Amino acid sequence: MTNSNDTIRILIPLKVRKKNGRPRILPPADHRPSADQAQDPHILRAIGRAWSWRRRMEAGEFATIQELAEAVGLAERHVSRQLRLAYLAPEVLKRLTCGREASAVSVYDLCFLAGETWQEQAERAFD
């Protein structure tokens, strides 16, 4: 049997936030992920898809977002929102894809950062 004196308590400073509709435990702000730790695959896939769509629209394959949405079989609103990821600041894209830094926001929230200044994007995405 254990006494109350035998109890050990460990406190770990973590945050729980919803990411893509699911609770996710976020590490402390000063934590740096190891080199072998990969980025959230949802974010990488969404950024890749947004850049593909942007290239196709710039090439003239589609004249409107509605045409693009019909071609890829998704809702126009979803395509419009996700397409904004192609206009994120270069520093944010670099840190998300090459730096393998964990973002403090979800894919949905990243879509709305494109309207902010580049400095504000970096601050909100990684703080």
Rounded CA-CA distance 121/113 in Å is: 6
Look up residue 89 and give its two tokens: 């600041």
Residues 57-80 have a mean pLDDT of 94
pLDDT-derived band at 102 (thresholds 50, 70, 90) equals low
* pLDDT score recorded for residue 21: 79
Residue 38: is its pLDDT beyond 60? Answer: no
The residues spanned by each domain of the chain are 39-126
Rounded CA-CA distance 64/76 in Å is: 10
Residue 30: is its pLDDT beyond 90? Answer: no
Sign of the Cα torsion 124, 74, 52, 59 reads negative
Strands (E), the chain: 15-19, 22-26
65 in Cβ contact with 76 (< 8 Å): yes
39 in Cβ contact with 99 (< 8 Å): no
* pLDDT score recorded for residue 123: 85
Model-level pTM greater than 0.75?
no
* pLDDT score recorded for residue 68: 95
